[in-house]
């Protein structure tokens, strides 16, 4: 097991909604876990034979009671997706006592407690880092509002706790209710100039919120976001990657990223976010016998259209052979 992973076990499992389960993780030897801040996530390493070695990212919703006591335990909430991938494997097999490997917390969605006001916006399971932020702001008695939107109340994890904790500063919005979609324009327009927005949810919500804020004159740095669900993946196929410089060939399974396949083969590609956002992992493409499915948010439209590079953390080949200049 690589040293960068921590050994933990599942201490509790709680069904939050029909599709979302919360897992309380503690270290296997009872020692404290690395401290984490609101907005942080962990990488969870899972290796079911059926789908191969896979890394999934889960935001930490907090520890045993508050975010600050997270040294003794981490909580993650996992939504079961329709596809037979990591989340279904987790729901089907993780139970009290299951031993796991996780990375130390990483935080690319950091809450700035110096903000005059924080506007938290969560869509669906994107509530997980936002829930940690909410409790962090409450504990520090900071000024905030939270908008939480989902398909229906019964599918919205932590919705009762959000209402209880935030009171009239919470705007709960169910898309199945009479009000239609969340009114982002009204929400952003009502904010004072010292507000910073933190958005986590599907790409559509993030893009709509960013566009709304920009149209109202918000500077881009006042809007931070974390994409929770990856873009639609379409039909995925296994393929081989040839690394032209080293001459090595690596098989990329149907449910494995190029990055994970290279790492599993003992290589050390550069990466950080694993979500197609940071721009550390793109590699030059020399040949591809099929279209490249670009799923990152880092490369420009022109770069994607040229097919000359791809983010190996999220993008794939819809073909059988990809040659990279690496
Ligand atoms: S690791 Fe960040 S874009 Fe791929």
Give the domain ranges of the chain. 6-102, 117-227, 239-324
Two tokens, residue 2: 């690589």
pLDDT the model gives residue 251? 92
Residue 226 β-bridge partners: 200
Which is more confident, 6 or 230?
A: 6
Indicate if the pLDDT at residue 292 is higher than 60: yes
Indicate if the pLDDT at residue 29 is higher than 50: yes
Give the pLDDT band of residue 231 (cuts 50, 70, 90).
very low
Nearest ligand 1 atom, CA 278: 2
What 25-30 contacts at long range (C-beta under 8 Å, 24+ apart), as own/partner pairs, is 25/73, 25/74, 25/75, 25/76, 25/100, 25/102, 26/72, 26/73, 28/99
> Is the C-beta atom of 311 inside 6 A of ligand 1?
yes
According to the CATH classification, is domain 117-227 in 3.30.70.330?
no
Q: Burial level of 163, CB count in 10 A (0-12/13-18/19+)?
A: middle
Please give the CATH topology (third level) of the domain spanning 239-324: Ubiquitin-like (UB roll) (3.10.20)
The mean pLDDT value for 213-233 works out to 82
Architecture of domain 6-102: Beta Barrel (2.40)
pLDDT the model gives residue 122? 96
104-140 tens-digit pLDDT: 998 889 999 999 999 999 999 999 999 999 999 999 9
> Alpha-carbon distance 104 to 34, whole Å?
6
pLDDT the model gives residue 317? 94
Give the pLDDT band of residue 4 (cuts 50, 70, 90).
confident
> Alpha-carbon distance 20 to 88, whole Å?
11
Give the pLDDT band of residue 67 (cuts 50, 70, 90).
very low
Indicate if the pLDDT at residue 50 is higher than 60: no
pLDDT the model gives residue 66? 44
Domain 239-324 in the same topology as domain 6-102: no
Counting ligand 1 atoms within 8 A of each CB, the residue from 43, 281, 324, 326 with the most, and so the one to mutate, is 281
> Is the C-beta atom of 263 inside 6 A of ligand 1?
no
pLDDT the model gives residue 228? 66
Residue nearest to atom 3 of ligand 1 (CA): 276
Give which of 25, 41, 197 is closest to 107, Cα–Cα. 41
Nearest ligand 1 atom, CA 271: 1
185-216 tens-digit pLDDT: 999 999 999 999 999 998 889 989 999 999 99
């Amino acid at each position: 097991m690589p040293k960068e992973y921590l050994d933990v076990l599942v201490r509790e499992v709680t069904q939050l909604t029909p599709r979302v389960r919360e897992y309380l993780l503690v270290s296997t030897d009872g020692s404290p876990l690395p401290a984490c801040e609101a907005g942080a996530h962990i990488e969870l390493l899972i290796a079911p034979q059926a789908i191969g070695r896979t890394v999934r990212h889960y935001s930490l919703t907090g520890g045993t009671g508050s975010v600050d006591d997270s040294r003794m335990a981490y909580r993650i909430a996992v939504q079961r997706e329709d596809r037979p991938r990591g989340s279904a494997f987790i729901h089907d097999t993780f139970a009290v006592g299951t031993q796991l490997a996780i990375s130390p917390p990483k935080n690319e969605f950091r809450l700035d407690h110096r903000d005059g006001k924080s506007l938290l916006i969560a869509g669906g399971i994107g509530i997980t880092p936002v829930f940690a932020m909410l409790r962090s702001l409450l504990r520090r008695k900071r000024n905030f509002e939270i908008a939480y939107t989902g398909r229906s109340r019964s599918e919205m994890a932590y919705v009762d706790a959000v209402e209880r904790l935030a009171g009239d500063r919470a705007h709960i919005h169910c898309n199945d209710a009479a009000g239609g979609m969340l009114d982002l324009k009204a929400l952003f327009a009502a904010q004072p100039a010292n507000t910073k927005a933190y958005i986590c949810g599907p790409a559509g919500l993030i893009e709509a919120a960013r566009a709304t804020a920009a149209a109202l004159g918000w500077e881009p740095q006042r809007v931070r976001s974390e994409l929770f669900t990856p873009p639609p993946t379409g039909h995925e196929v296994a393929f081989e990657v040839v690394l032209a410089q080293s001459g090595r060939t690596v098989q990329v399974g149907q449910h494995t990223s190029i990055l994970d396949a290279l790492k599993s083969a003992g290589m050390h590609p550069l990466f950080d976010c694993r979500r197609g956002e940071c721009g550390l992992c793109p590699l030059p493409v020399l040949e591809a016998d099929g279209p490249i499915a670009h799923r990152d948010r880092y490369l420009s439209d022109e770069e994607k259209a040229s097919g000359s590079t791809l983010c190996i953390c999220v993008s794939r080949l819809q073909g059988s052979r990809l040659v990279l200049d690496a």
